[in-house]
Amino acid sequence: MQRPSLRLVASAAIGLIILVATATTLLEPFGSSASRPPYALDRDECVMGEAAINPRNDAAPGLVPPSTAQFSSLEEAERYLCVSIPRPKDETRWRALGFSASRSHDLDTLIEWEGERGNRMVHVSFVDDATGARLDCSFSFGSAINVDGQHEPEKITIQGEAGFLWLDSPDPGVISATWRRNEIGISVISHLEPQFTRDDFLRALETIE
């Protein structure tokens, strides 16, 4: 019996590899961890049905208006946006309050785009009852945050990432910082007090994850 040529064997092997690779791609679940950004939750952990659809405006059919909602817990806001929201590691010190979450589009559309378009944003404040210090935080998932300061920022490093720090801007005693980590744009604003200094503020930023 004549043996198949090496060229035919190689062609068959390449064809099998392509077939397996194609099947693997087709079988890969939507929103799988291989393609998701680090902040993404599994889809089944998030809101479904009407809660995942931005309310429509009858006066502008066909348009998807942004949607903003208030929540009583970070977990509810996470499910609304399908993201893991950063927070200070010492949750016994920093008490969260005032959760506001925004979606520019329907949730499934944003998940499909995964940061390339659209925006998901959270505004939350953390309060230290012992000192009265407050961290007003904004987290933008998949896009950067622009902070308008009246002065040139100081370049700093936060959690190993390049960031910017503003002092006395826009008002005296105000301190703010912005940086990007794990594809999340982060902005934090606070007020300096005798019991909450610049160094205290910078140490608090290092704990947000």
pLDDT digits (tens, 9 = 90+) for 128-148: 999 999 999 999 997 656 655
pLDDT band per the 50, 70, 90 thresholds, residue 124: very high
Q: End-to-end alpha-carbon separation of the chain, Å?
A: 67
Does residue 18 fall inside a structural domain?
Answer: no
What is the predicted pLDDT for the residue at 107?
Answer: 96
Q: Tell me: pLDDT of 67 over 60.
A: yes
Does residue 160 fall inside a structural domain?
Answer: yes
Positive or negative torsion for Cα 144, 32, 75, 202 = negative
pLDDT band per the 50, 70, 90 thresholds, residue 19: very low
The total number of structural domains in the chain stands at 1
Q: Tell me: pLDDT of 14 over 60.
A: no
Selection from 112, 109, 134 nearest residue 124 by Cα: 134
pLDDT band per the 50, 70, 90 thresholds, residue 13: very low
What is the predicted pLDDT for the residue at 203?
Answer: 96
Average pLDDT estimate for 87-109: 92
Q: Tell me: pLDDT of 3 over 90.
A: no
Q: How many angstroms separate the CA atoms of 162 and 178, rounded? A: 9
Question: Token digits for 200?
Answer: 């205290």
Average pLDDT estimate for 69-97: 93
Does residue 25 fall inside a structural domain?
Answer: no
Does residue 33 fall inside a structural domain?
Answer: no
Q: How many CB atoms lie within 10 A of CB 194?
A: 6
Longest alpha-carbon distance in the chain = 92
Does residue 77 fall inside a structural domain?
Answer: yes
What is the predicted pLDDT for the residue at 65?
Answer: 87
Average pLDDT estimate for 163-192: 93
Selection from 31, 35, 38, 34 nearest residue 139 by Cα: 38
Does residue 16 fall inside a structural domain?
Answer: no
Residue where the block lists tokens 């990432």: 161
Q: Tell me: pLDDT of 70 over 90.
A: yes
Q: Tell me: pLDDT of 149 over 80.
A: no
Does residue 11 fall inside a structural domain?
Answer: no
Rounded to the nearest integer, the mean pLDDT of the chain is: 82
Give the H/E segment covering residue 139: strand 134-141
Look at 207 and 9; give whichever has higher pLDDT: 207
Look at 175 and 1; give whichever has higher pLDDT: 175
Does residue 66 fall inside a structural domain?
Answer: yes
Count the residues in the chain.
209
Q: How many angstroms separate the CA atoms of 141 and 121, rounded? A: 6
What is the predicted pLDDT for the residue at 12?
Answer: 37
Question: Domain range holding 57?
Answer: 39-206
